[in-house]
Structure formats: C-alpha cells, structure tokens
Structure 1
Amino acid sequence: MFSLRQVVATVLVAGGVASPLSQAAEQSFEAWLADFNREAQAQGISAASLQAAFANAQPISRIIELDQSQPEFIQTFMTYLNRRVTSRQVERGQTLLREQSALLQGVEQKYGVPPEVLMAFWGLETNYGQVMGTFSTPQALATLAYEGRRHSFFRSQLLDALRILDAGHVAPANMVGSWAGAVGHMQFMPSTFLAYAEDGDGDGKINVWQSLSDAMYSAGRYLSSIGWKRNEPIAIEVNLPEDFAWQQAAINQKHSVAQWQAMGVKVVGQALPAADRDAAIILPQGWRGPAFMVFDNFNVVMQWNRSTHYALTVGHLANRFLGAPALRAALPAEQEPVSMEAIKRLQQQLTNLGFDTGGTDGLPGSKTQSAIRSYQLAHTLPADGYASRELMMHVERTLLVQHEDTELIPGFPGTQP
C-alpha cells in the first residue's frame, strides 16, 4: 500500500513540481516511526511514553492537507482585525479581566506584562480557552515530521513533546492542540513550552491545557524573556498631518514621541507614553487606512507571531479592554483582499521596471514594500509602500506607456519594421 507521502510526491512530480517529500517517499510510516522511536529512546525518552503517544498511530491526512495548502488571497488589515475584534470579544475579555484579576496582577507584578495584553493573546489564540485544538499533539507532529514540508523542525518539536509527556506534565490522552503542534491556552510550541513554561499554580506540574495559572505565568515569562518593556504600549492609533511624508511610515524609521508630535502626529483617544520613548509609524493598509505609532513591544509581539496584522490586533484588542475607541481611518481604505498571484505579478513588473522586490513570492514583505516606495516616489505618489489595487493599475499603465514608447524607437527589440 502506498503511503500518503508517496501519493503526494507522485502527484507533485507528475505535475512538474519538485516535491519536498520525495527524499523519503520510499519509507513507510511504520518503518519511519520505528527509526524515530530508536532515536527518541537514545535521547532518554521512555518506552512507556512512546507507546502511549503512538498507540495505533497513522499519518493524519487532514494535517497534510493543511500543511500543503497555500492561501490564495491576502486579507486587508481591517478585514483581519474586524473578524477578531468584535464587541462581543471585547466584552467577554473585560469580564474575564475582572474574574481573573488576582492571577493577572500576579503575572504583571512578576514579569511586567499587563493583564489586558495577556487577555488579548488569550482571546486571539484560543478564544479565551474555548478553541485549543483537537489533534493528538504527538501524532500531529509525527505526521508532519514524516510527511510535512519541514521535516527537521517538526521532528525536533516531536521530541520536545515527548519530553513533556515524560516529565508527567500532562497525560498523553490530554496532550491535544492545533494541527501544527501548538498547545494549551496560549498555543505554545513544545520547544517554547520547554524553554519558558512555568508552574503558576505551584502543584509541581506545568499543565498549560487545564491550568490557566500555568498558561498565564508561562506567557508572561516568555514575553519578558524576549524583551517585553514594562509600562510601554504595543501600538496606538494616530492621526497624521496632511503634509506627512508617507515614506517616513516604516518600521525602521524611528523617532522619539516628542519628535513625532512636533511633526504634527496626534494620538487617537489615548495617552502617549513618555516623550523620549522611540517609536515608528506604520500604515498596515496604506495611506488611506489607519496609522499606528508602534513601540519596542510591537517587535516583541512579532516574535510571538511574525504577522504585522496579528501584532497590531493584539495591541488594539488590549487597548479596547481599557476603553479605547474602535479604529477610525481618515479615508475609506480598500477592503477587498488581494490575490497572491496579483502580488507576484506586481513584483515581476516592478523588477522589470528596475525596482528590486527581492523575488516573486506573492508576499508583500519589507523588500517589496521598499520597491513600492521607490516606485511611488519616482512617480510622485503617496509613498506608503502598500500593494493596493490602485498601485497595481498605475504600474500596469506605466508598463503599457513604456512599451508604446519603445515601439517608436527604430531598431528597438520588438519594433515593427
């Protein structure tokens, strides 16, 4: 019988795509698991933990589907945020802040991470503990280590998950989580658990699935360890002056709060931190969308999840718990998602025009944003670095005009005789 790995590899190769799975397509899951068990035992994992973790184990086809799937569209920031920050979500978080005040204040006293920030992470990660995943973590990670795109990463995560079981922190039957192996109230990967998880309730075990104290102290310890700064926000919405130089809105363009204020930047409905704190301005949905002043703690959140949308949503949700208003953008921003194919086309077009995007991966990363800004400055457009539909149409017109001009040049390649 063919393994799922063999089937996927055959389909990909037949379709002309180099398969990341083909390197071990000939090995059955049973043989792979036997090899893995020998390695795990050599590293000190008990036979009892291995037997409990892998009883009747087989690759989980749904996990491979999720691992191999690629998003077709990129959500706009406001769509992303509005799906996650609702009045119901805010009200539920405020209620839980009151109910868990003693626990959360204890975490803040020890690690400096305020209650509203921990609550925002909890709400976004698992809807306040209601959606923690249902996949067996050892079997999900075994599937990904055997058949996934990042074999080595998930193999190491699997070994760490088994170390957690070996230490007795959770029963094998209760070690469940997301399809990618994240676990508990705060969705820690096993390696993060081993490095930062803490026994918050003092019972001698670290159970981030069933003990909210363990989960919250672990999150506080992790954030503190990666650079969280006390008494500093993540992000605050701001209004920008009409004459604002849009190219200054970039994560690497930092000024003090006082300097931004001197340029006419004004906060929306909140108090700013100390005037000497450094901050950047970012525009997650272009110059027509909301503008944020972001601080060092924004970069800390980005280490938790490397998504600007996610980090800004954590900051905004935390602010809403404290009574901050909903976002208000100065002008209506585009709401339709942009396809990754459209971004790839834009990247190729900008490259053809002499603006280096760093490749054509369909993701508007920092290199692509820089290329867009350079193009916008060259054409006296608002240099926000945003891959909007309007920008794409402008680039299309520029290429069309350039093509028409070259047809008038005698001897130019493609000129009609």
Structure 2
Amino acid sequence: MAKSVRQAESVDTAKRRHAGGALALLASALPGFAFAAAPAAAQGEGFAAFVGSLWPEAHAHGVSRATFDAAFAGVTPDPDVIEKTRTQAEFHKTIGQYLETAVSDKRIALGQEKYAANAHWLAKAEDRFGVDRYIIMGVWGLETKYGTYMGDHYVVRALATLAHARYRGTYFRTELVKALVILQEGHVDPAHMIGSWAGAMGQTQFMPSNFKPYAVDFEGDGRRDIWTSVPDAVGSTANFLKKHGWVAGETWGYEVHLPDDVTAPADRFAPFGAWAARGAVRADGGEMPRGGVAALLRPAGPGGPAFLVTPNFKVIKSYNNSTSYALGVCLLGDRIAGWGPLKARWPGATLAQTR
C-alpha cells in the first residue's frame, strides 16, 4: 500500500519559518542560559560552537558528515521551545475537564472515520502484537488526533535548542544524537522530521530514544516511517505496548458501580470474582470476567466514576504516566468501538461531559 504522504514544506522553508527572532528572544529565556547576556552575534556563535561540538559524538554513532550538515543547515535556536520550558506546566485541568476534550464527540467521530479507513492495518496489528485495536486507536487519537497534528517543530532544531540550554542536563543532547542517527538510516528526511517542542516525533510521538526499540516497518518498504505511514504508526504503537507487557486477550477494565464503603489501594489487584463478591457490578450491565485480576480506580474520589482496571491499564501508562491520559485512551477506544458514555458523572461535570 502506498504511503499517504503529508504535504510538507521544503527543508529551507521550514527552517526559515521557525528561525525568525530566535536570537533576540533567547537572551531572557532561561535563568543561567549559556549566552543570556551576550549580544546577538555572540549568541549565534555560541550555538554554532555547540553544534560543532556534537560532530565527534554523532560521527561515532555512524552519522556521516553529509547527514550532519544537512540536518543543521540554517538551524538556529528556537525561542518558542525555550518559552515552552517556562510555561508548559502552568495550566492544570480536572480529570473531568481533561476527558471532556480527550473523548469529545468530534474526536470520537474522527476516530470512527480513521478506524474504517485503516481497519485492515489495525486488525493486522492486533493479530501480530496482541494489542486491542481500539486501544491503539485511543493512543493514536490522544497523541496526534490520528496523525492530523504531530506538532510543528523541526525535531533537530527543537532538540538542539534544549540541549544547548542544558535543559534537563544531558538528556536532550542524547536524544539529539539519536535523532541524527534516524536521519542517517534514511527512515525520514529533515523536511518531514516534525514533532513537538520537546522532540516527540510523528504520529506515535516517540522520542528518538524510543524509535530504535519500538518503531517497526509494518508496511514493509524498508523504512520505519512513523510520520507519514499509518501502518508503521499503528504497528509501532502496538509494538510499544506489547513490549511493555500488554496481555493479549485481556481488557483494560470496566466502569463499575459498587458500595461507597468499598475501598482499596489503587495498585492492589484482586480477582474480578472477589470484587463481585464485595458488591461490584459492571455499569453497562455486562458480566464480570471469570478470570483475571483488577484494581479499583476512583480518580475523582468516592463521588465520581469508579473503574476496575487490569494490569493492561498500567501498560498504557508506560506511554504517558498519567491516570487521566490512560483513562482517556481507554474511554476513547471504547467510544470508537461503539460503547456508550460513562454512566456516572464527574464531580462538577457539565451535561456535555456525560452525553
């Protein structure tokens, strides 16, 4: 099957679009930033020296001079990336507010369209990796809205900006070198190496360090293309979850009704039958599984929805270690599969959140 290639700017156009005003804004971006008080010319020289210092390390990892120079051609520090390091944690939502967006009617409808268009690859991924196809859809939907928004940053530029600023120590320098190796291996070209401000790439939002162990050439064309190939993105997501312990044939869990006095630590797993003996019933009226274990999850406390979640729920959190995120993946997948909305309401929820 031919890849559905996302129309992209040329390398030079993309880099020019992100370059404007970079040096002027970096001066006050981070406390202790390496050249914060230096004039613009000196700032540029400092970044160029940093890029030059990367060459021996990149070369030692098999990156050619041609690949290295092409990756950094015209690249300057990205002021938007620096700003994101200062503001990205300022806004917090309640779980109900988060899920109102994550599992919106619009995202469900688009997910059902994408599922219908890619059912063959989703079924193939489920068969090969054992991961529920609707969980794959949930991850794909939350990470990049099914590939419709992968971020708008050139990954090498974003990572170089963070590495030069020594944001999180040497972490982003290591990720930058791994990104160069991906370019060297020909899985993507610089014009299509698009991702988030922190370097999470493509439809799967993998960091470069996740690419080698988890990205797969599911389409069979010799490249692991998580940017423009839906099959590769679907297969790579499934491979990630499988390698983090997904148990084939097992659900993520269920919304349940249970007596208010039933409590347990969030990580205490017990057989489904034991929960049923304590008065738990599935909110959708279905039968409890006869096998398997689950833990009680009440993310909003006794006044909100309750869930029995299996170890597969913890596997989803390996993608993003957030209970809200994992629950969003599960509930979005269920809605795409045709299941109805939650029966219980989130504390303070609007009518739109419980439709």
> What's the TM-score, normalizing by structure 2?
0.85
Q: How many residues in Structure 1 have an aligned counterpart in Structure 2?
A: 323
Cα RMSD (Å) of the superposition?
Answer: 2.4
The corresponding residue for 2:116 is 98
Deviation at 1:335, TM superposition (A): 5.4
The corresponding residue for 2:18 is none
Q: 2:305 aligns with which of 290, 294, 309?
A: 290
The corresponding residue for 1:37 is 55
Indicate conservation of the 8 Å contact 2:179/2:208, yes or no: yes
Post-superposition CA distance 1:317-338 (Å, at most 9, x none): 11112222211226x61459xx
Residue 28 of structure 2 is aligned to residue 7 of structure 1: yes
State the percentage of identical aligned residues: 37
Deviation at 1:302, TM superposition (A): 0.6
- The runs of 5 or more residues in structure 2 that have no matched partner are 1-21, 351-355
Mapping of residues 336-351 of structure 1, within 5 Å: none
The corresponding residue for 2:87 is 69
Name the aligned partner's letter for residue 225 of structure 2. N
Radius of gyration: which is bigger? 1
Q: Return the alpha-carbon distance in structure 1 between the equivalents of residues 244 and 37 of structure 2.
A: 39
Name the aligned partner's letter for residue 292 of structure 1. F
Deviation at 1:239, TM superposition (A): 0.9
Q: Return the alpha-carbon distance in structure 1 between the equivalents of residues 308 and 37 of structure 2.
A: 49
> Secondary structure at the residue paired with 1:151?
coil
Post-superposition CA distance 1:291-328 (Å, at most 9, x none): 11111111101110011000011111111122222112
Indicate conservation of the 8 Å contact 1:133/1:178, yes or no: yes
Q: Return the alpha-carbon distance in structure 1 between the equivalents of residues 60 and 113 of structure 2.
A: 49
Residue 266 of structure 2 is aligned to residue 245 of structure 1: no
Indicate conservation of the 8 Å contact 1:116/1:319, yes or no: yes
Mapping of residues 301-316 of structure 1, within 5 Å: 301-316=316-331
Name the aligned partner's letter for residue 38 of structure 1. P
Deviation at 1:48, TM superposition (A): 1.0
More relative contact order in 1 or in 2 (CA 8 Å, sep 6+)? 2
Q: Return the alpha-carbon distance in structure 1 between the equivalents of residues 134 and 154 of structure 2.
A: 31
Indicate conservation of the 8 Å contact 1:157/1:191, yes or no: yes
Indicate conservation of the 8 Å contact 1:64/1:148, yes or no: no
- The runs of 5 or more residues in structure 1 that have no matched partner are 13-18, 337-417
Post-superposition CA distance 1:128-164 (Å, at most 9, x none): 1110112111111101111152131111111111111
In 2 relative to 1, CA 333–33 (structure 1 residues): closer, same or farther, beyond 3 Å?
same
Indicate conservation of the 8 Å contact 2:29/2:82, yes or no: no
Q: Return the alpha-carbon distance in structure 1 between the equivalents of residues 70 and 158 of structure 2.
A: 14
Indicate conservation of the 8 Å contact 2:47/2:77, yes or no: yes
The corresponding residue for 2:247 is 229
> What's the TM-score, normalizing by structure 1?
0.72
In 2 relative to 1, CA 163–237 (structure 1 residues): closer, same or farther, beyond 3 Å?
same
Deviation at 1:96, TM superposition (A): 2.2
Name the aligned partner's letter for residue 181 of structure 1. G
The corresponding residue for 1:333 is 347
Indicate conservation of the 8 Å contact 2:153/2:196, yes or no: yes
Indicate conservation of the 8 Å contact 1:5/1:25, yes or no: no
> Secondary structure at the residue paired with 1:231?
coil
In 2 relative to 1, CA 301–193 (structure 1 residues): closer, same or farther, beyond 3 Å?
same
In 2 relative to 1, CA 73–328 (structure 1 residues): closer, same or farther, beyond 3 Å?
farther
Indicate conservation of the 8 Å contact 2:23/2:77, yes or no: no
Q: 1:276 aligns with which of 291, 311, 317?
A: 291
Indicate conservation of the 8 Å contact 2:151/2:194, yes or no: yes
The corresponding residue for 2:204 is 186
In 2 relative to 1, CA 183–2 (structure 1 residues): closer, same or farther, beyond 3 Å?
closer
Deviation at 1:66, TM superposition (A): 0.4
Q: Return the alpha-carbon distance in structure 2 between the equivalents of residues 45 and 238 of structure 1.
A: 53
Q: Return the alpha-carbon distance in structure 2 between the equivalents of residues 273 and 171 of structure 1.
A: 49
Name the aligned partner's letter for residue 278 of structure 2. M
